[in-house]
Structure formats: C-alpha cells, structure tokens
Amino acid sequence: MILPSIHIDQYFYDLPEERIAKFPLANRDESQLLLYNKHGISHTRFSEIDQCIPPSSLMVWNDTRVIQARLSFHKASGAQIEVFLLEPAAPADYSLIFNTQGSCSWYCLVGNKKRWRDQSILTTSQTIKGKTIEFHAELEQDNGKESRIKLSWNPTNLSFHEIMDLFGHTPLPPYLKREALPDDKDRYQTVYALAEGSVAAPTAGLHFTPTVIDKLTHKGIQIESVTLHVGAGTFVPVKESDVRNHNMHQEVVSINKTLIFKLFEQFKDPLIAVGTTTLRSLESLFWMGCALLNRPDMSEDELHVEQWAPYQGTAIPSREDALNAILKYLSDRRLTSIRFTTRLIIVPGYRFRMVKSLITNFHQPGSTLLLLVAAFSGNHWKEIYDYAMLHGFRFLSYGDSSLLELSE
C-alpha cells in the first residue's frame, strides 16, 4: 500500500481522569474483557478467556521482564538526581549486563540534569545486615536528551541485577501520576516474565494468572513467547498532525526457531498476539523475512525493519516465503533464534500478515498504540472505545482488557 495522509486528531477521544486505572485489581483475572468480532461487541471476565478462544489457536506473548529502572541519587548539596535506565551501553547485551559485577554503563534519561552540570560522582548507599553497599553514578557522555552513565558499586562481587533490586524503583507510566509502591514491583510484571530489559510492562499480559494459563493449555491452546524489551518510547505521543511525519521509536526483538516452525503450522488456525508489542514483533518478523529474501547475506548488525517498510508499494512475498528466508538465514549460521531491531509503525490501512486476534488494553488518545488498534479493527476503534466507556471499563496500563478479532 501507499501510505495516505493520516491526521492524528481523528484518533483522540475524551478520557476522564477517573477512568484511568491508577491501581491494579487485587486479582489479575477479575478484569473485564471486551470481545470484538464478526458478531459485534460484548464483554465477559478475563478469567473466562479460554471460552472465547478456539482450541486450535496458537497464543504468543512477550516474556520480557520489567527492570527497576528508576534510580535516585542525591548530590552533597541535597539536590535529587533521577537516573532512568533506557538501554545497556557496556556491555551492550541485555543478557550480559544484569550479571555484570562491579560496574556497567547505560544510556539513560536524567531528571534534574541541570543540577548535575559539575559532573560530580553521585553516591547513595544502603546498609544490609550490617554491611554497607555503596552505589555510584558518573556522567560519561551527554547527548542532549539521553546521557551515557557509568554505574559502579561496592562490594564489587554483587551483580547489577542485585543492585537494581536494592536501589531501583518500578518505572510506572507517567500518566498514573503517582509514586511506585512496593506492591507495584510484582503487579507491574506479568506472571510469565523472564527476560530482563523492559522499562514498561507489556500490559496486555498483566491479566494472566496461573489458573487462566492452566485453563488455556488444558483446552489444547499452544502458548509460545517472543521477547521485545519495551522502551520509554512507547509513551511518546504523536506530536505531528500528519502521522507520516512521526518518528517511531526502535526496539529489539528476539524470536526463537521453535516458534517460527510453529508459525508454519498455523496458516489456517488462529494466531493470537498478547499485546501490541507481541503483534509488532510477529508482523516485524514477516517484514524481516521479506528483507532477507532480497538480501540473504545481511550481517546480524544489519537486521532491521524500517518504520515505513510495509508501505512502499513493492511486490509482497507470501508468508511462507518470508518465514523460509528467516529459517534459511538461521540454518546457514547455525543460530537458534533471530534478533533484530524494528521501528515498524502500524496505522490504518496496514494489511496484517501474521496475527488474527489481539489481546490488548485500552490505550491513550492520539498514541501509536491506538493507531494500531484502529488498523486491526478496520477503523472501528471508536465503537469499541465507546462501548468500553459505556460499560465502565478501566483504561490504560492497569485497566481492563479486550480480545479483538482482525477485521479484513
């Protein structure tokens, strides 16, 4: 398709403050679940989602784990400086940095940066069982909006994972307008979270409980994982009136070969994405395969899906051919998973190549996430959101859920 002009002011709605869920429900699966499909719109409880999904389905979720990304330091003058972790710098690999001992570097956002112009080393400490643990932050490089920060600690035999758990705070979304509480460390995390790296939760998964998962698997529904570490860019609003001028944030995706083989078996049966991050990962996988068909000799550093790749109007290969190109790439290099970056933006008019159903929460007005829902629902998002408003649904990260069937 050739991308038409899309005006963001068509994707706003009135969201009263009292409809934003500031706190989660005590029981995850007691949230409401809106159902949108060829029969219309209805709703039930999330605990009953197994009754809404065919037994032949393949469900895919994002197994990323939210890190305690907010770190607070004080200068000798008393000024508070907040360091918000964005992505690892040294080592640059997520799987390595959390096991690093002694020191590591991150790209960060720095709150109250103007009070840190002297570039002094910031220090905070805690005493645990009679032993003092010191934690330091040093400004290595300032690129304007983002900064590279060296973090170091004593004793040096502690891992960065242990340091984060001691000194970090849960990075709640800014629209909640409250400080994180101890309970948020658990509740702003899916029960199946594994791979550390996100600074925002894949919130569609917050409704799942072990009981719900057991009911799904007992019915015969297969469940697989992708990993996409959700960045702070997910909260960046579309500021351009014409969406074509919006600069989409980049995120890292990792998908294992086992899932790619299962996707071959799923051409006729429903493929359900748990959350917009999972959907973007699976759709990006298709476009990554298209790129490898054209350039099978790409290096690992070149594996990337551009923002407007699907909208260039070129001939599009089949899903089978795209997935085969990825499997050949993995086989030739003896890899068990593919890791690539994506800036894919999904807007109304996009043709979905992989996903047939989407589990997702209710998103901010004028956001890229709402544009994705609009695209998936055939631009019937307003009917869906009006229904949710009328029936008392709770909105945003800690809010209620929906199961949307692709409108084609």
pLDDT digits (tens, 9 = 90+) for 201-258: 999 999 999 999 999 999 999 999 999 999 887 777 888 899 989 999 899 999 999 9
- Residue 266, judged by CB atoms within 10 A of its CB (0-12, 13-18, 19+), counts as buried
Binned at pLDDT 50, 70 and 90, residue 2 comes out as: low
CATH number of the structural domain spanning residue 141: 3.30.310
Phi, psi of 292 (to 5 degrees): -70, -30
pLDDT single digits (tens) 288-301:
999 999 999 999 99
Q: What is the pLDDT of residue 78?
A: 78
Are residue 336 and residue 349 in the same domain, yes or no?
Answer: yes
In the three-class reduction of DSSP (H, G, I as helix; E, B as strand; rest coil), residue 62 is classed as strand
Q: Do 109 and 210 fall into the same domain? A: no
Are 398 and 274 found together in one domain? yes
pLDDT of residue 265: 80
Comparing CA positions, the residue from 170, 227, 241, 212 lying closest to residue 24 is 170
310-327: average pLDDT = 89
pLDDT of residue 234: 77
Q: What is the 3-class SS of 283-327, one letter each residue?
A: HHHHHHHHHHHHCCCCCHHHCEECCCHHHECCCCCCHHHHHHHHH
| Closest C-alpha among 283, 275, 271 to residue 309 | 283
Same domain, 134 and 94: yes
What's residue 26's pLDDT?
A: 95
Torsion of CA 337, 202, 205, 268, to 10 degrees: -50
Q: Tell me whether residue 174 is in a domain.
A: no
Q: Residue range 7-29: average pLDDT?
A: 96
Q: What is the pLDDT of residue 261?
A: 94
Task: Give yes or no: residues 255 and 196 share one domain.
Answer: yes
Average pLDDT over residues 148-165: 95
Instruction: Assess whether 271 and 348 both reside in one domain.
Output: yes
Q: Could you tell me where the DSSP H helices lie in 219-299?
A: 257-264, 276-294
d(CA 176, CA 186) in angstroms, rounded, equals 17
Share of the chain above pLDDT 90, in %: 82
pLDDT at residue 408 greater than cutoff 90: no
Same domain, 292 and 388: yes
Whether residue 23 is contained in a domain is answered as yes
| Per-residue pLDDT at 156 exceeds 80 | yes
Residues 224, 143, single domain; the answer is no
Domain of 134 in residue numbering reads as: 69-169
Report, in angstroms and rounded to the nearest whole number, the Rg of the chain calculated over CA atoms: 22
Q: Is the pLDDT of residue 98 over 60?
A: yes
Residue 266, domain member (yes or no) = yes
- Asked if residue 246 lies in contact with residue 240, where contact means CB atoms within 8 angstroms, the answer is yes
**262 and 335 share one domain:** yes
Contact 104, 90 (CB under 8 A): yes
Torsion of CA 11, 14, 16, 19, to 10 degrees: -60
Average pLDDT for 149-169: 95
Mean of pLDDT values over 335-354:
95
* Nearest residue to 84 via CA among 110, 119, 116, 122: 110
Residues 6+ apart with CB under 8 A from 202: 61, 62, 64, 190, 228, 230, 274, 275, 277, 278
Looking at the fold, whether 356 and 385 belong to one and the same domain comes out as yes
Question: Which of 270, 345, 274 lies closest to 38 in space, CA to CA?
Answer: 270
Q: Report how far residue 255's alpha carbon sits from residue 228's, in angstroms, rounded to the nearest whole number.
A: 9
Specify the pLDDT at position 366. Answer: 95
> CA 331, CA 333: separation in Å to the nearest integer?
5
Contact between 68 and 75 under an 8 Å Cβ cutoff? The reply is: no
Share of the chain above pLDDT 70, in %: 99
Q: Give the model's pLDDT for residue 77.
A: 79
Could you read off the pLDDT of 244-290 as tens digits, one per residue? 899 998 999 999 999 999 998 877 789 999 999 999 999 999 999 99
- Domain presence at residue 1: no
In a domain, 280, yes or no: yes
CATH number at residue 302: 3.40.1780.10
Average pLDDT, the chain: 93
- Please check whether residue 180 lies inside any domain of the structure: no
Is 105 within a domain?
Answer: yes
Look at residue 151 and give its three-state secondary structure: strand
For the whole model, what pTM was predicted?
A: 0.95
Comparing 51-60, 64-73, 112-121, 274-283, which segment has the lowest mean pLDDT? 112-121
Q: In the chain, count of helices (H) and strands (E)?
A: 9, 19
